[in-house]
Chain A
Amino acid sequence: MNTHHALGGVPHSGLFTPLTSFIFFVAAALVVCLVVSMNNDTVSDFYIANGKMSPVWNALALCGDYLSASSLITFLGAVALTGFDGMAMAVSAILGLGILFLLAEPLRNTGRFTLGDVLGNRIGGDAARIAGAVITLAVCLPLTVVQLAGSGVATAYLIGLDSSATAQVCTALTGTLMIMFAAFGGMRGTSVIQITKAVLVFFAVLLVAAVVLHRFDWDFGAMMDTAERNALQPDGFYIPGQLYGHTTTGSFELFSAHLTVAFGAAVTPHLIMRVSASRDGRSARRAARYAVMASTVFFAAVVAVGLGAAAVVGGQAIVGDDPRGNTALFMLSGSLAGGPTTTLGGIVFTVVACAVFVTALAVVAGLTLAAAAALAHDIYAQVIRRGRIKEENEVSAVRWAVVAVGVLSVLLAIGLHNWSFLFLTLFAASLAASTILPALVYSLFWKGFTRTGLLWTIYGSLVCCVVLQVSGPTVSGDPLALFPGRDFHWFPLQNAGLITIPFGFVLGWAGSRLGRHAPVDRIREGEAEARLLAGVGSDTGTR
């Protein structure tokens, strides 16, 4: 049991202890989710909240989808432990949302619900739709498993029983909640959760930043100096190289990590569905712009809190609790305002605990919904049933798909609980950056893109990502690898994006130039242009 600051271990009297507040918050979120999603009668209702979300609401929901638990915990820990490198990663995450901003309007105009719709509308035929579904599952499933396992560990840590068995039970409970949110709530329900989460997370981070700055009498310079003195490596805290070292390989690794974070986070399938929930192209663009603005403020606050963690808690103490610094936020919030035993300290810690839990819950619900939509809409309704399916049957199918994907994810998260998840995280990020981004950029903006180019990009990059990730230090040859006792790695980088992202673009170009240019591609060019500009015809879908 961690003795720092567990929700259950806080000696508050009365009904509203931090632990009961935490449980009350989760229950209230579930009730609200169920109430707002009572009218999920049509597929459009279920997948994209009928495509009528206003820019402000969708911007908040987009922030909720984009800011995963890793954005909050991992980046904050990276800032606390590595200083400049962590701050640079946070800026790359903002850049990722900037990339989504550029794609949002054409994505909303071209697509209907899923990634398979976007690719199918542009290229046509079952192959494009299946490719979209395959890559959606290949990206969403690992991310869901990682987030579920992480949320189980974080919840167990927060209630003060951070044993392996408790974490697995918490994972199962979180997974059950996730399935209920996604299966009953659909896009409306998950939107409410995302909006609630975004507001809560923003409030939590800004609250902690304010409290920690108040501790230094609002003197940011004093906090920076203290952070440098108490850092793990004081001499190099504000210079690059703390994350991956000062070697040539370290420089390439840093470059590759920035590319993977910026390009991978921007185009995950649940974000594509989120963009489709906007009223029209300009609403999607406006929502993405607001999201860029909000996330810039958020990551600035994350940097301030990360520096505060280094200053108040200290690098050695953070590493002693977790080698990757993932508990830095909890340690900091538990030591502010007199600790959780005081009223203000209890409030700070409870708000942070609720924010972290709902962050993980909301993201896995969005990912599960995207994966289930790929199965039910792209594969079952459009490929197997050839689009001849009643709306209520498709809604029923997607609910069952949510249950199937959710149960599989929970079982994998519990079964792989003691394994290193770094491999899965980096694999999913580099896969999204190397397959979805080239496919979308070419589909939306290059008239010469063909079905061959699409299939080369999707499946070629998928193979490349698998080979390089398996051959890298995240699987073997490193103490934190998937198989720490074995060493068969020959690829030196943890982040394969430096190779796989350009490879994905080259494959798309080469496939379109060298492969068979199917007549259907040329016929659809004019239609695709009308959809790109004004969304004309996108609501009808095309098989």
Chain B
Amino acid sequence: MRIRVVVVNAAALAVILVLTVSQGDSFKDEVIGPFNLGMLLLGAQGLVILASAVLYDRACTTHCDPRVDELHAARAAEVGPVAEHGWGGRR
């Protein structure tokens, strides 16, 4: 999962950089409303980063956290429960 996030974001960065070097002059062409090609590409890269963070976190919640809970439960059975007290959160 982590590798997929890295690959997607690396690909997005590489595409932007290659286009920056090869097609830079066309970046000022307006594509949608006032937004030019360069701004749309950067916006797309920002969205890729944001979406991959959200999707990765959701996938971890679904697939990884239950396994971590099992490990903690096994650990608690061995050494006893650990007191939970928070700062700005659940106590």
Contact = CB atoms under 8 A, between A and B. Distances in A.
Contacts of B68: 281-282, 533-534
Contacts of A91: 42, 45-46, 49
Given A225-B34, A254-B20, A53 B50 contact: no
B42 A105 contact: no
Contact of A238 (B38, B49, B71): B38
A241 B23 CA distance: 12
A102 B5 contact: yes
Interface string B52-70: 1110110011001101100
Interface string B4-38: 01100100010011001100110110000110101
Interface in A48-89: 49-50, 52-57, 84, 87-88
Contact of A240 (B24, B67, B85): B24
Contacts of A98: 9, 49, 52-53
B36 to A, nearest CB: 5
Contact of B53 (A237, A240, A282, A293): A293
A535 to B, nearest CB: 8
A288 B57 CA distance: 10
A87 B57 CA distance: 27
Given A88-B42, A224-B34, A95 B13 contact: yes
Residues of B contacting A: mostly:
helix
A61 to B, nearest CB: 10
Contact of B89 (A54, A188, A238): A54
B21 to A, nearest CB: 5
Given A54-B88, A105-B60, A285-B57, A533 B71 contact: yes
Interface residues of B, number: 43
A426 to B, nearest CB: 19
Contacts of A419: none
Given A91-B45, A91-B46, A258-B13, A279 B86 contact: yes
A224 B32 CA distance: 13
Interface in A246-304: 251, 254-255, 258, 262, 279, 281-282, 285-286, 288-289, 292-293, 296, 299-300
A255 B24 CA distance: 14
B67 A533 contact: yes
B49 A94 contact: yes
Contact of B87 (A53, A289, A536): A53
Contacts of B61: 282
B2 A102 contact: yes
A258 B42 CA distance: 13
B91 to A, nearest CB: 9
B81 to A, nearest CB: 14
B42 to A, nearest CB: 5
Contacts of B25: 239
Contact of A57 (B17, B33, B34, B87): B87
A206 to B, nearest CB: 17
A101 interface: yes
B12 to A, nearest CB: 9
Given A57-B88, A221-B34, A292 B50 contact: yes
A279 B89 CA distance: 10
A220 interface: yes
A451 to B, nearest CB: 25
Given A87-B39, A102-B6, A240-B24, A289 B53 contact: yes
A254 B13 CA distance: 13
Contacts of A52: 85-87, 89
A282 B65 contact: yes
A534 B72 contact: yes
Contacts of B64: 533
Contacts of A292: 49-50, 53
Given A53-B88, A102-B6, A285 B34 contact: no
A101 B53 CA distance: 7
B1 to A, nearest CB: 10
17 contacts: A49-B87, A52-B89, A54-B88, A88-B20, A95-B13, A98-B9, A220-B34, A222-B34, A238-B38, A240-B20, A251-B20, A281-B68, A292-B50, A293-B53, A296-B50, A533-B67, A533-B68
Interface of A: 49-50, 52-57, 84, 87-88, 91, 94-95, 98, 101-102, 105, 188, 220-222, 224-225, 237-241, 251, 254-255, 258, 262, 279, 281-282, 285-286, 288-289, 292-293, 296, 299-300, 530, 533-534, 536
Given A87-B39, A296-B49, A536-B75, 15 more contacts: A54-B89, A55-B89, A56-B89, A57-B88, A84-B38, A101-B56, A102-B2, A102-B5, A225-B34, A240-B27, A251-B20, A296-B46, A296-B50, A533-B71, A534-B72
